[in-house]
């Protein structure tokens, strides 16, 4: 446990020292800002029935941030250590492979959540300027952030896995992005096969991230997507541990 | 206190029939050796001989394909954490985090290796002092010179007071000054710790190690002290001398000598002749040269017997075979 905390601390410090993290935060803020502008336009003098978070979610920036940030954050985790050789000093310290993977995952997820904080600021600004009966309640905001965290967990774990597979950071990012987008696009299969009653339709409906997120931004927290995201994350982290261990049986 | 003789301490490193394969390629083939506590042993061999692989297995980074490796009586694979606490390992090329400061890095490593907060502070200060890093504690590792980085690597290997140091090519790429500094440091460490150093540079090993294992293509070709290796493998001791004598006469003197296989003379300056004598057996020809000088009254101004350096031995042992025998 102590080694885990020390490693998380070290990774977070790594984010603090890297220029790329500031660029990431800036880029995400910019995208969220663009989303904020479209949100204001949607608001323009009209009464909205949908929660604010849902309006925001409908902008493409929301998904852009969700899909692109995790690979950028996670690409260096293992790939860089492998490329510079520090992987060897790290893995010959008295710590287990699983501890290292979990620590890196935790730090990346924490940094990912930090990049989303400007969204709270945007929502607070809106709240300050709209009249009494505003559709901005704390509950949908909380469930939105829960969704962002859960989905982020999946994507960050996917990024960890991609980074553990290669020593090239670029390759890791591209791989994570490709897998992530593929997973996201499965949601669109709903339009063609989701209406059926077969097993395939059930699977597609079950893994549709778009639907899950739609529920979260409306303030609906169902246990099924929660369990789905958590188990998918755990499975991806487990795979990453196995990949890191794989040097032993190669 | 009992007067009994204590049981002999088990060797600190015990490698038995270690084989390591990468896919089909055999990196280390059936290597066995032991290193006693307090010894300084050098692993010597050309690139690709399997030196790094052996160290990686010892450090617990890679498991052996077969065979057992024990450090202080514990299996490096089954009791990995306990063994790793006893080992200070500096990998090849000494990888470090370039974004951290020296002190920060060492504190991180010390804590990771299980030192408590208080012990960490004391030990980091101690290794900073020991490795001559006190001036650069607050510098970012990425901005340090190679010599300093090497010291940071050593400090990291030492910070948890391991019984065994594994150093993989610790002086590679250093300039002569830095090389001497690092070598002195290793020699100072050798007084209190067991060290296994790998290198393909001979003087390195000759200067620091009490015992040498010569590796080639994954096998141990020879294992002994540098002096013994030199003795065992010396076959020829050429004698070189310079004498003021007529060259033709001098050559005639040696031509009939039963112990001399070959004689090469060449005039140098002011009437002196430089001569190289190759003996037939292991005889020392120096007394014969001196006797000749006395008998003929030819002034002798140089007389030396060439020693085959470890370097030649090494080159001979590890030379790629031009044609396959067997």
Chain B neighbours among A 49-88 (CB < 8 Å)? 84-88
- Determine contact: A10 vs chain B, CB below 8 A: yes
Looking at residue A134, its pLDDT comes to 59
Q: Give the pLDDT confidence score for residue A48 in this predicted structure.
A: 64
Q: What is the pLDDT of residue B326?
A: 37
Question: What is the value of pTM for the model shown?
Answer: 0.82
Q: Is A20 on the interface with B (CB under 8 A)?
A: no
Q: At what angle do helices A223-245 and A97-129 cross, to 10 degrees?
A: 140
Mean pLDDT of chain A: 86
User: Of B23, B81, B91, which is closest to A85 when you measure between CB atoms?
Assistant: B91
Q: Do A93 and B113 touch (CB under 8 A)?
A: yes
The reply to whether residue A89 touches residue B81, judged by beta carbons under 8 angstroms, is no
Q: What mean pLDDT comes out for the span A171-181?
A: 94
- pLDDT at res. A131: 62
Residue, of A190 and B308, whose pLDDT is higher = A190
Residue A88 to residue B22, Cβ atoms within 8 A: no
Helix ranges (DSSP H) in chain B:
51-59, 80-86, 102-112, 117-130, 146-158, 176-190, 202-208, 226-233, 247-255, 286-296, 310-318
The percentage of chain A sitting over the pLDDT mark of 90, rounded to a whole number, equals 47
Q: Does the distance separating the beta carbons of B62 and A94 come in below 8 Å?
A: no
Task: Give me the mean pLDDT over the A151-169 stretch.
Answer: 94
Write out chain A in H/E/C secondary structure: CHHHHHHHHHHHHHHHHCHHHHHHHHHHHHHHHHHHHHHHHHHCCCCCCCCHHHHHHHCHHHHHHHHHHHHHHHCHHHHHHHHHCHHHHHHCCCCCHHHHHHHHHHHHHHHHHHHHHHHHHHHHHHHHHCCCCCCCCHHHHHHHHHHHHHHHHHHHHHHHHHHHHCCCHHHHHHHHHHHHHHHHHHHHHHHHHCCCCCHHHHHHHHHCHHHHHHHHHHCCCCHHHHHHHHHHHHHHHHHHHHHHHHHHCC
Structure confidence at residue B322 (pLDDT): 53
With a cut of 90, say whether residue A159 has pLDDT above it.
yes
> Closest Cα partner for B241 from B294, B283, B293?
B293
To 5 degrees, how large is the angle CA A223–CA A228–CA A232?
A: 150
Q: Tens place of pLDDT for every residue, chain B, 326 residues? A: 445 555 566 788 999 999 998 888 888 988 999 998 888 999 988 888 888 999 999 998 888 889 999 998 888 888 888 899 989 999 988 899 998 999 999 999 999 998 998 999 999 999 999 888 999 999 999 999 888 898 899 999 999 999 999 999 888 878 888 888 888 888 888 888 899 999 887 777 877 888 888 888 888 888 888 777 766 655 556 788 888 888 888 888 888 788 887 788 888 877 888 888 877 776 778 888 888 888 888 888 888 876 656 666 677 676 665 544 33
Q: Looking at the complex, report in whole angstroms how far the Cα of residue B143 sits from the nearest Cα belonging to chain A.
A: 15
Give residue-wise pLDDT tens across range A193-249: 766 677 777 788 788 888 888 888 888 888 888 999 999 999 999 999 999 988 776
pLDDT at B308: 59
Which residues on chain A are in Cβ contact (under 8 Å) with B25? none
pLDDT of B8: 62
Best mutation site among A18, A82, A83, A93 for testing chain B: the one with the most B CBs within 10 Å? A93
CB contacts of B99 in chain A (<8 Å) are 14, 17-18
Nearest alpha-carbon partner for A241 in A36, A101, A125, A137: A101
Predicted-complex ipTM score? 0.85
């Amino acid at each position: 446990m102590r080694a885990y905390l020390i490693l998380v601390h070290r990774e977070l410090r790594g984010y603090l020292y890297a220029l790329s993290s500031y660029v990431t935060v800036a880029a995400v803020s910019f995208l969220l800002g663009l989303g904020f502008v479209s949100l204001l336009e949607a608001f323009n003098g009209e009464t909205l029935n949908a929660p604010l978070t849902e309006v925001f979610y409908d902008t493409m920036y929301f998904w852009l941030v969700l899909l692109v940030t995790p690979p950028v954050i996670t690409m260096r985790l293992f790939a860089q250590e492998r490329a510079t050789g520090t992987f060897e000093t790290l893995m010959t310290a008295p710590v287990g492979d699983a501890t290292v993977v979990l620590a890196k995952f935790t730090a990346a997820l924490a940094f990912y959540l930090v990049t989303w904080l400007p969204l709270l600021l945007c929502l607070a600004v809106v709240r300050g300027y709209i009249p009494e009966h505003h559709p901005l309640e704390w509950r949908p905001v909380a469930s939105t952030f829960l969704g962002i965290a859960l989905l982020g967990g999946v994507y960050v774990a996917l990024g960890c896995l991609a980074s553990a597979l290669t020593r090239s950071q670029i390759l890791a990012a591209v791989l994570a992005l490709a897998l992530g987008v593929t997973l996201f696009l499965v949601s669109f299969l709903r339009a063609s096969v989701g209406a059926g009653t077969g097993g395939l339709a059930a699977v597609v409906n079950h893994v549709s991230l778009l639907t899950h997120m739609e529920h979260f931004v409306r303030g609906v927290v169902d246990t099924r997507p929660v369990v789905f995201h958590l188990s998918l994350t755990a499975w991806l982290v487990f795979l990453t541990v196995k990949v890191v261990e794989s040097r032993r049986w190669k | 206190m009992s007067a009994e003789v204590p049981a002999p301490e088990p060797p600190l490193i015990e490698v038995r029939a270690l084989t390591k394969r990468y896919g089909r390629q055999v990196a280390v083939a059936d290597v066995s050796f032991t290193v006693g506590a307090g010894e300084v042993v050098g692993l010597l061999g050309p690139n690709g001989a399997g030196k790094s692989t052996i160290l990686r297995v010892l450090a617990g980074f890679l498991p052996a394909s077969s065979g057992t490796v024990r450090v202080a009586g514990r299996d490096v694979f089954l009791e990995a954490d306990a063994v790793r606490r006893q080992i200070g390992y500096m990998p090849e090329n000494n990888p470090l985090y370039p974004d951290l400061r020296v002190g920060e890095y060492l504190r991180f490593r010390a804590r990771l290796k299980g030192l408590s907060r208080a012990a960490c502070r004391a030990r980091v200060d101690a290794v900073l002092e020991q490795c001559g890093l006190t001036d650069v504690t607050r510098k970012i590792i990425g901005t340090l010179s190679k010599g300093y980085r090497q010291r940071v690597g050593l400090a990291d290997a030492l910070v948890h007071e391991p019984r065994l140091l594994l150093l993989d090519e610790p002086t590679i790429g250093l300039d002569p000054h830095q090389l001497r500094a690092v070598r002195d440091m290793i020699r100072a460490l050798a007084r209190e710790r067991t060290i296994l150093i790998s290198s393909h540079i001979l003087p390195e090993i000759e200067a620091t190690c009490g015992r040498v294992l010569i590796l080639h293509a994954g096998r141990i070709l020879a294992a002994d002290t540098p002096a013994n290796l030199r003795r065992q493998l010396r076959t020829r001791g050429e004698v070189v001398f310079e004498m003021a004598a007529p060259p033709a006469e001098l050559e005639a003197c040696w031509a009939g000598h039963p112990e001399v296989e070959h004689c090469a003379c060449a005039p140098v300056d002011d009437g002196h002749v430089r001569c190289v004598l190759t003996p037939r057996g292991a005889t020392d020809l120096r007394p014969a040269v001196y006797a000749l000088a006395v008998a003929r009254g030819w002034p002798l101004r140089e007389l030396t017997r060439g020693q085959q350096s470890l370097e030649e031995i090494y080159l001979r042992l590890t030379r790629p075979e031009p044609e396959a025998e067997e």
